[in-house]
């Protein structure tokens, strides 16, 4: 039977989360980013009601700092971590529906060569080795944040990222779909256009569009005239509806500025844990409305809004820094 990447709301055995190690990557926000990621780890563990959390740190000094911030039940894993964005560098788990689980480890080139840090190039293989699970090594560049899936074989991505020549210049749309069919169990791909403005990842879809149920895609909707991504949202909605996907409206955070420039603040970078859905919030007027909009789709899970502005200063949020291990 085909191995397939399950939806994020399927049960997890554990979740890896990256812990900030390099202050230069978080100018003026290093301590805040550490505190916000620690809060994410604690909320995900949810006092034992959630999954095991494995907080990945670069060395023993970072391990000491992490232990002072997280619950005692959060497991600290010391590895040679470059950056925290394990969504893109950690292995991706697939299941075959017959009691087998495996990992897929993709190539990584620092988001098109923009941000290359020692350790990121092989952290996926090293984390995979700690699990004892069979691992398929893929010899092409791919980041987990570039896709989302509803667990049925339907995936969503952006052309801006997956077709970007700074990743795999020899691969076209058809070849990428074939590779993902063989590695992650893709059977249908929804191609959106661009991602958010000023997204360092070249438009990862996990900051724009996320499945909340089979065939149901959450998309931001602009609620103010100055939302810098209004046209991106509208184009994504048109493409999704044309593909036959049901669209769920989630209010956008709107314009969020740092040093006078728009940053890719998004409620879409939420993470679905066993006991809670952790949603990044930014002190914006739509924070509570976004939390309320997610609630109907995750009955039995607590919807938790946590500040993520310090993490975002380094380039991502909760979904970006985590990678799940689905249960058999």
d(CA 233, CA 256): 16
- Which alpha helices (DSSP H) does the chain contain, by range? 30-45, 60-67, 86-89, 110-113, 123-129, 159-162, 173-184, 230-242, 287-294, 309-312
At 317 the three-state DSSP class reads coil
284-320 burial, b for 16+ CB within 10 Å, e for fewer?
bebbeebbebbeebbeebebbbbbbbbbbbbbbbbbb
> In terms of Cα–Cα distance, which of 75, 81, 26 is closest to 58?
81
- Joined together, the tokens standing for residue 45 give 């563990």
The Cα 326–Cα 8 span in angstroms is: 8
Tokens of 257: 């500025």
CB crowding 125-134: b at 16 or more within 10 Å, else e: ebbbeebeee
Q: Is residue 161 classed exposed, middle or buried when 0-12, 13-18 and 19+ CB atoms within 10 A define those classes? A: buried
- The DSSP code for 300 is T
Helix locations, 46-106, DSSP H: 60-67, 86-89
Closest CA to 79 of 136, 24, 107, 118: 118
161 is catalytic: no
Contact 77, 66 (CB under 8 A): no
Other residues' Cβ atoms within 10 Å of the Cβ of residue 27: 9
Which positions are catalytic?
320
């Amino acid at each position: 039977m085909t191995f397939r990447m399950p939806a994020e709301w399927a049960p997890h055995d554990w979740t890896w989360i990256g812990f900030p190690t390099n202050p230069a990557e978080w100018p003026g926000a290093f301590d805040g980013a550490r505190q916000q990621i620690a809060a994410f780890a604690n909320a995900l563990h949810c006092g034992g009601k959630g999954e095991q959390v494995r907080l990945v740190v670069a060395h023993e000094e970072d391990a000491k700092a992490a232990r002072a911030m997280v619950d005692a039940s959060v497991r600290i894993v010391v590895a040679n971590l470059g950056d925290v964005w394990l969504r893109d560098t950690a292995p991706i788990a697939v299941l075959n529906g017959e009691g087998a689980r495996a990992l897929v480890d993709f190539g990584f080139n620092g988001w098109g060569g923009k941000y290359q840090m020692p350790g990121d190039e092989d952290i996926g293989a090293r984390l995979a080795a700690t699990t004892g699970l069979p691992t398929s090594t893929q010899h092409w560049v791919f980041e987990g944040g570039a896709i989302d899936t509803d667990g049925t074989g339907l995936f969503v991505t952006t052309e801006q990222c997956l077709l970007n020549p700074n990743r795999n210049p020899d691969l076209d749309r058809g070849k990428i779909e074939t590779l993902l069919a063989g590695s992650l169990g893709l059977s249908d791909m929804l191609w959106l256009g661009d991602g958010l403005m000023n997204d360092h990842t070249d438009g990862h879809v996990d900051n724009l569009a996320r499945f909340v149920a089979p065939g149901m895609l959450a998309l931001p909707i602009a609620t103010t005239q100055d939302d810098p991504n209004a046209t991106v949202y509208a184009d994504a909605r048109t493409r999704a509806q044309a593909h036959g996907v049901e669209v769920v409206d989630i209010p956008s955070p709107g314009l969020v500025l740092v040093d006078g420039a728009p940053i890719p603040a998004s409620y879409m970078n939420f993470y679905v844990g066993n006991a809670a859905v952790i949603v990044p919030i930014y002190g914006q007027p739509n924070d509570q409305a976004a939390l309320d909009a997610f609630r109907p789709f995750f009955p039995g899970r607590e919807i938790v809004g946590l500040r993520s502005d310090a993490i975002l200063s380094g380039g991502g949020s909760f979904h970006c820094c985590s990678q799940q291990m689905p249960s058999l």
